[in-house]
Chains A and B, each alone.
Chain A
Amino acid sequence: MAVKFSGCLRGVSAFSILSLLCLCGCSPTPAENKNSVVIWHWMTDRQPAFEELSRRYEELTGVKVTFELYAPSDAYSQKIRAAAQSVSLPDIFGILGEKRDFSSFVKAGHILDITPYMSADNGKWKNVFFSKALAVNEFSSDNTYGVTPGIYGVPIDITTIQMVYNKKLLKQIGGNPNRPPATLEEFLALGPKIKASGIQGLVSGWGEVWMVDCMANNYAFNVMGKDKVLATIRGDVPYTDPDWIKVFEIFNQMQNSGVLANGLVTMVNKNAEQLFANEKAVFAFNGSWCVNVYKGMNPGLEFGAMLPPAVSSRYPMVIWGGAGSSFMVNARSSRKEEAVKFLRWLTDREQQVFLAEITLNLPANKDSLKKISDVLAQFADDIETSTHPNVWGGSEFPAVVEALDKGIQSIVIGEKTSVQVAEEVQKIKQRELSKKNSK
């Protein structure tokens, strides 16, 4: 009995020790290999193209580049943060999120300042990019994030977010397929015709809120101009300003006229893309990546890109644009020189043309635009006049952005007025400002 018990005890002890060893993570550290570079990303649609480019690069240089895909983007975002905490980021990685998060990665010493590489040879590398694509990855000398000025990311492709219209359906409701509505008045006038024809008007991923924020910002720039929008972010102009109420009211007008699709406020972008690709909606508010998506869903779809219809002629309609995706080099990597070399090769004209052809995304290299489709070219036309929150030098409080987005949803579903939403957003803005000032 004693022998049996003692054996059992040994078993338990061994199990305990093994468990603790496993829990402590006693796995061996892989040996550093200078001839390999590891990249983490979330871009499912680009993985085959990346793998092909990796194969070509290995043939050329002998350096093996491994693209590790982690999707969906939410899971990737968490993985990157966890890796940052455990200081186990790969040689190259992308960051999802706002400029504030980007700045935290830089301040924590995870991202290499690539300004010296970009500026070498009179800025030879830097000059191949669209300035807007680079600006998203840059911290200027007057940035409010406390980051040392410099370029911290390499843009791989660019994105603009605007509207697209179905040429056939626009004609069906009495519009001109070669001249989509340019003013809000013209756009709203299509509402009754859309309703009468039984098709959907504007579809978008407004259930994902950031797209509401994007359109609201487009109209804010159009109604009050960049300076006043930025003054609002700084806290110098309240959201109860008549210009902001006018911006909120645009959404009410759109809803009342019937140009917005049913159920838009909980629609995710994937559903919106399906509706537009299946010719059930006349308009969509989407990013330039949609060209690839629509082609996959309905290759015969005839559509064009357009700016959101302007409400005022005082200021231009400015859309969001800039780097769609960028790669950052791990400042702590022992292979950072190899990583920079690979990124430089990846953004050369030939590789950028290949990526654009395969993925139908706009290339970040401005010399690579010659081979893109007409619709994609329409998206590219507005890149130099676009803007993005990441280039404004400061960010709005996330709580304010959420209140603004949800407030617009409330306007669209008819439970709040523009004035009520403006007051609520301003109340949250004041709360956040006082919290910031008390720190």
Chain B
Amino acid sequence: MRIKSTLENYLFVLPAVAIFLIFYLIPFIWVFQLGMYEWDGILPTKTFVGLSNFKEVLTQDNIWWLSMWNAGYITLIAIIFQNAMAFMLAMACDREIKMKNFFRLVFFIPPVLSEVVVGLVWQWILDGNYGLLNAWLLKMGLPHLVKNWLSDPQTALTTVAVVHCWKGFGWGFLIFLAGLQTIPRELYEAARVDGANAWASFKNITLPLMVPVAILVAILTVLGTMQAFVLIIAMTGGGPAYHTQVPVLRILASMRGSSRFGYACAQGIVFGVVLIIISFVQYRFSKRSRQY
């Protein structure tokens, strides 16, 4: 009877375990295994090269680390500005304002749009010759600000980061809004009775209670932004030169441009490990903050 019960329990988790094995664990092991081969993705034969692909990624591929740096820069901008914007707009929509539901809908439109479409529309807006932005700047008497936003190495990466923030802030907005709505209104009322002004209520009630939500949003922002590439392909293709290259574009370049599937797998594993480390650090940080 006991054995039967145990078997039944295992049977219940079998579908989940099977899906996890088939779609996550086995592909991960397979990718790691492929990372130890030189293979073009076509020939049935693969040449075993041990860990040399991983060594090349870690020690010789400067462009790879430049792409990591670029992704880190976009992530930093996203963490600061995208999340700040998301938080401020969530705060605004959490209050009793007119057309609250309309704004909630509008702010969530960018994330549900196709990244390729968004990239192409922004490319058109930011075009150095016939773009809307430059036309507006000229109209406003600011010709010194007119630039080739996407092909100038000084502005390309930041411009891409800003568009990424515009595209992605809606997710943070939704999560922050949900978090704000879980804060009991009585706390604010009690604070008001005690003579607290708006700033004191924000500092002593809203901020501390929103820390776990902010950490969750930060983790999702880091993971989402580090892996961003569709928007970048649509806007700059990774150029000019290597100025907007990001890790996923490098993995694609190794696979498609160089036909080095093994090396692309090694890059994928290294990138995955970096993301796991970042997530782990953030998770530890969030656990510590919850203890306070």
Give me the interface of A with B, judged by CB distance under 8 Å. Answer: 5, 9, 12-13, 15-16, 19-20, 23, 74, 77-78, 81, 84-85, 97-98, 100-101, 104-105, 107-108, 110, 200, 207-209, 261-268, 271, 275, 280, 398-399, 402, 406-407, 409-410, 412-413, 415, 431, 439
Contact = CB atoms under 8 A, between A and B. Distances in A.
B236 A12 contact: no
B253 interface: yes
B151 A104 contact: no
A263 to B, nearest CB: 4
Nearest to A270: B120
Interface of B: 8, 11-12, 14-15, 18-19, 22, 40-44, 47, 60, 123, 127-130, 148, 150-153, 156, 235-237, 239-242, 253, 256-260
A13 B7 CA distance: 12
A266 B15 contact: no
Nearest to A206: B239
Contacts of B12: 12
A234 B91 CA distance: 64
Given A262-B151, A413-B151, A107 B43 contact: yes
A19 to B, nearest CB: 6
B4 to A, nearest CB: 10
A200 B15 contact: no
Contacts, number: 108
A265 B128 contact: no
Contact of B18 (A9, A20, A107, A410): A20
A410 B130 CA distance: 23
B256 A265 contact: no
Contact of B129 (A12, A200, A409): A200
Given A406-B241, A409-B241, A413-B240, 4 more contacts: A16-B15, A74-B256, A78-B256, A104-B259
Classify the interface of chain B: helix, strand, loop or mixed: loop
Given A16-B11, A16-B18, A101-B40, A208 B237 contact: yes
14 contacts: A5-B8, A19-B19, A84-B42, A85-B41, A104-B43, A108-B43, A209-B237, A265-B239, A271-B123, A398-B259, A406-B242, A409-B240, A410-B241, A413-B153
A266 B129 contact: no
Contacts of B11: 9, 12-13, 16
A9 B129 CA distance: 66
A338 to B, nearest CB: 25
Contact of B14 (A16, A77, A263, A264): A16
B11 to A, nearest CB: 6
Contacts of A101: 40, 42, 259
Contacts of B242: 406
B16 to A, nearest CB: 10
A263 B43 contact: no
